[in-house]
Structure 1
């Protein structure tokens, strides 16, 4: 599994959007995970996301990931539409998935307003597709980063991926020598997937925000840089990584920067607002680190937007290291 290239998205997706609407404020675009639609009360943010690989906590992750996309645009997630596709009639699986959906939605204050459930021949595992909606006082795009802005990362790289490794691959981890206590702590990272609290703090000041998911923090940075037409340079040592994440990634041979990244929020803020933003997050118990400074795109015009990470330049989607573990 991998994401389509920006060129393919432009050709086959972003250019084919049906009837034009004056109410559409922000539509499909590379790196933009949610749309903005004008409504009588202001702005409605809408996002949809599928999930299929994290078998143990698919319902919990589905709600968190869908709502994160709305929150990362400055919205307040309020409503959720849930589509559940099962490989075969399986009441036990359906019971577990809907219990997870219900519990996580209630925890985050989100109402499940509808959806669709059916069995589909040919599926290897359950597939969820969740659409989340909510109002925004100030829509914050992925594409708003400006040269000179500080790049903030909350919490750390690979939080979602660590939790999935701890549950879907526990036997492999323990066989490789990772102790059970470390795996248990890592599985607890499922409680850290939502970025609603930091989004509330950063939305009033951020020029851009983005929720890194597939491809991890590295891919999230690439999407933000390319959407904004800027350059972001950083090294691995600049990015916070929890000790449990490091241990599990080393055992499974994956890079914390390139695994499922929900649980972290990327944001750019004006340089003179960075210290205050970090302090405000700290006051809410949220760790945040300035990992880079936004730069002008390449002077030679070779790239409208890119990330230079440990000396290597990235201008397109980064494949998630975890995909190979399920193949």
Structure 2
């Protein structure tokens, strides 16, 4: 059942009555039951009390089975639509620095942002396990509300499903996002050329490390927090000084190494990065050494990889460092012509090794 799937009518009086009735809807159950997915009153109360009340905005308040937009208002902002979707199954739901709700909002925003798009609208669909504490769901919805407000986007429609106890692990979220790409922006891995500079906006691996520590499987004490943050403001800052960005991608699952390999394969070029230039927090590096992990493959949720012509690199770097999300930005390497499709790492010992695509999964369910 959609968040907006209630009876609606163009009669203003009926609409007012429905709005008053909905405001009185309250979830009294302490845990999610199968009735909350039945399509009846229990489900309506859950949606109204937790989701609609949290995400309320002019589009959502129309209470239709879909969100509709005025194209005449969108067209002046750009000439292309960016559309993405992602699902979030992170374990645990809450971890140092963030939680599954904020992660779902920011992750989808960032997928739009790396195309150069201005994120505008999100959807939110949840799959709930029978027995999930209602307080947990409220906390997640409040986190999504705060993240959306901070980023200046609206959650405009959604869906709720409940599955039997044991058929899911507490709570899964799917979000989709729509944004507008400004005229003249063409960001694609196929634009990458030999000589381009590679820039990242800060330390690698904090999110993956925070998730691992939060699972409580290791006797480690640290203040590492997830780097979860929206990146569209940083992207806007970059494009203001250099609309000719060649490629951009957020380094989530698979980390920096996977993004660079995708770039190299898409553009048929080689990439060389300098180990000494790659920022990794000391605690993250130490954890990786203990566990035999490589920070180049650890997940991030607030890290951006930018590829730009070498003549624009210093300008872009300076702009990134002026933004809170890019204050630790640095140039870490360059694009080379050969060997094509290969990423090379210049080590601290002066040698080179191949950084291959991640095989398997270092840490499952990190987003």
The two structures have a TM-score, normalised by structure 2, of 0.67
Pairwise CA distance, 1:325: 9.3
Mapping 1:112-131, distance limit 5 Å: 112-121=155-164, 122-131=167-176
Instruction: Report the number of matched residues.
Output: 272
1:221 aligns with 2:264: no
1:46 aligns with 2:83: yes
Structure 1 gaps of 5+ residues are 1-38, 299-303
Residue 337 (structure 2) aligns with = 296
Cα gap change, 1:136 to 1:221, in 2 (>3 Å): same
Write the distance in 2 (CA, Å) between the matches of 1:53 and 1:325.
Answer: 5
Pairwise CA distance, 1:250: 4.2
Two-structure CA RMSD over aligned residues (Å): 2.5
Structure 2 gaps of 5+ residues are 1-73
Residue 207 (structure 2) aligns with = 160
Write the distance in 2 (CA, Å) between the matches of 1:325 and 1:284.
Answer: 27
1:313 aligns with 2:349: no
Select the structure of larger CA radius of gyration: 2
Match of 2:363 among 315, 318, 322: 322
Pairwise CA distance, 1:235: 4.4
1:134 aligns with 2:179: yes
Pairwise CA distance, 1:163: 3.3
Question: Does the CA contact (< 8 Å) of 1:216 and 1:260 recur in 2?
Answer: yes
Write the distance in 1 (CA, Å) between the matches of 2:147 and 2:288.
Answer: 26
Cα gap change, 1:164 to 1:196, in 2 (>3 Å): farther
Write the distance in 1 (CA, Å) between the matches of 2:210 and 2:365.
Answer: 17
Cα gap change, 1:128 to 1:295, in 2 (>3 Å): same
Mapping 1:5-44, distance limit 5 Å: 40-41=75-76, 42-44=79-81
Match of 2:246 among 188, 207, 215: 207
Pairwise CA distance, 1:154: 0.9
Residue 24 (structure 1) aligns with = none
The two structures have a TM-score, normalised by structure 1, of 0.75
Q: Which structure 1 residue ranges, 4+ long, deviate > 6 Å from structure 2?
A: none
Pairwise CA distance, 1:293: 0.8
1:194 aligns with 2:235: no
